[in-house]
Amino acid sequence: MKKLSKSNYLKGNQCEKALFLHLNHPELKDEISEAQQALFNTGHNIGNLSQQLFPGGIDASRQDFFNFKAAVNYTSELIDQGQEVIYEAAFSANNCLCYLDILVKKNGKWYAYEVKASTSVKDYHYKDSAFQYYVITSSGLPLEDISMVYLNKQYFRQGELELDKLFAITSVVEQAKAMQAVIKQKSKALLSLMNGKTMPIVDIGPHCSDPFGCDFHGHCWKHVPEYSVFNISWLREENKFDLYQKGVLELKDIPPTYPLNANQWLQVNADLNNSIVRNQPALDAFKSTINYPIYFLDFETFQAPVPLYDNTKPYQILPFQYSLHIKRSEKAPLEHREYLGTPPKDPRPGFIQQLVKDLGNSGSIVVYNKGFEGGRLKNLAMNYPEYDDVIRNFLSRIVDLMEPFRRRDLYTPDMRGKYSIKNVLPALVPQLTYGDLDIQEGGMASLTYSSLYDDQDEQSVLKKREGLIEYCKLDTLAMVEILGVL
């Protein structure tokens, strides 16, 4: 008989069809992206670090992590031997299985701790802990408490890491107890499903991405066209699925009386008529806000779950690179400047020092998404108050190239309802492409830079740095070309 693990319980709780496919047709899964794998690795690393909160423990997991019976037996042996701190303690009861991150005995009572790489307790964490409470207590081990251990978003590093401040601990035992009847009932239903041969009939819906993106998305959504009602900008999810339930998938089938707003109908009609929308007075007004010299600026950033430097907190967004194209006059040649940090050094001091030299005192600073670059500049001003005045000057000069596309002052069907630079560039300047680059989007740039902290291979480091420079350089060149089209 198949056993129900915690991960399978959570998967089945989100979608029973996904659980059935996971067990019976794993070949239909979407490929795990590097970003997803990085999230898995982050969780593992945070879990290992949290063990230092409760030192002196023994890891109960076996060399073969999936040899669950051996892990359960070893956990039982450790408990019988009087071991008071156990990592990855394994339990089994009622055909259900779970690993617990940390089990601690204090004053003769047992306390359970589940570690998360988040900065708060999420709604789905309660189901997670409630399932573990159900399995552990059903196995015969009474729990005095079960708690979530997570990163404290109020912690700012100063000097050496202070683990007791880095981590926050919140008891969830009352919520876990309140959910026991539901857990028991749902576990029985999922065990029946797992050991049966009939795939549940579950249509696509909001559950496909709540609380996690499903790894069978490509399989279950294959009947949905690549470009469909799900691509209509600013349309609420409930309305997208309302159209889907009415049998409307393609834009051409949307009833003319359906309550879309003006911007949404603009997208639909432009796509159906294969027409370009251009609000020339608005574009002229936008262009009039841009003055020479023009500085086309783009930042790349990364987030460290565990703060690496003083005056940083968990998951703080840190700039590590910029690209800057400069056009000093209409006929002047295009210039380029760049900065790229060198791990493990803090990239911010060198970043702001060089940026101050490169941006000058006057002229428009053109970015794509003012909120992002502006937010990073404000954070730098907080961390380095000696640059407060010059950063204020930068902020006053910023012009957001995204705005005309966000407002639909210029829209083409090739933008597919979106206004990110990755959609606007191929629509307006198709000869300029990210397709030939090793790094093709910001998330990958962030992961690549983060990997430099552990990469000891000189050639590998050089290749990654070259890839980062080429990617960021294309972002600012793209802005030059897009403005040229306008």
Would you list the domain boundaries of the chain? 6-194, 223-275, 276-486
Q: How far apart are the first and last CA of the chain?
A: 65
Q: Give, in degrees to the nearest 5, the angle at Cα 470 between 467 and 475.
A: 125
pLDDT attached to residue 62:
78
Q: How many CA atoms lie within 13 A of 107 on its CB side?
A: 2
Q: Give the span between the Cα atoms of 326 and 170, in whole angstroms.
A: 51
Closest CA to 98 of 128, 76, 118, 143: 128
CB 319 within 8 A of CB 348: yes
Architecture of domain 6-194: Alpha-Beta Complex (3.90)
pTM: 0.91
Q: How many CA atoms lie within 13 A of 222 on its CB side?
A: 7
The dihedral through the CA atoms of 63, 66, 70, 73 has a sign that is positive
pLDDT attached to residue 305:
95
- What does DSSP say about strands 145-151 and 109-115: parallel, antiparallel, or unpaired? parallel
pLDDT attached to residue 42:
81
> What stretch of H or E contains 115?
strand 109-115
DSSP state of 4: B
CATH number corresponding to 276-486: 3.30.420.10
- What does DSSP say about strands 398-400 and 317-327: parallel, antiparallel, or unpaired? unpaired
28 φ/ψ angles, rounded to the nearest 5 degrees: -90, 0
CB 255 within 8 A of CB 289: no
List the chain pLDDT tens, one digit each, 486 residues. Answer: 899 999 999 999 999 999 999 999 999 999 987 777 777 778 789 999 999 999 999 999 877 767 889 999 999 999 999 999 999 999 999 999 999 999 999 999 999 999 999 999 999 999 999 999 999 999 999 999 999 999 999 999 999 999 999 999 999 999 999 999 999 999 999 999 999 999 999 999 999 999 999 999 999 999 999 999 999 999 999 999 999 999 999 999 999 999 999 999 999 999 999 999 999 999 999 999 999 999 999 999 999 999 999 999 999 999 999 999 999 999 999 999 999 999 999 999 999 999 999 999 999 999 999 999 999 999 999 999 999 999 999 999 999 999 999 999 999 999 999 999 999 999 999 999 998 889 999 999 999 999 999 999 999 999 999 999 999 999 999 999 999 999
Q: Give the span between the Cα atoms of 315 and 478, in whole angstroms.
A: 29
- What does DSSP say about strands 109-115 and 96-106: parallel, antiparallel, or unpaired? antiparallel
Q: Give the span between the Cα atoms of 475 and 324, in whole angstroms.
A: 9
At position 305, the amino acid (one-letter code) is P
Category of 374 on φ-ψ map: left (φ > 0), alpha (ψ -120 to 50) or beta: alpha
pLDDT attached to residue 65:
66
Query: What's the burial of 256, exposed, middle or buried (CB within 10 Å: 0-12/13-18/19+)?
Result: exposed
**Length in residues, the chain:** 486
At position 471, the amino acid (one-letter code) is Y
CB 213 within 8 A of CB 199: no
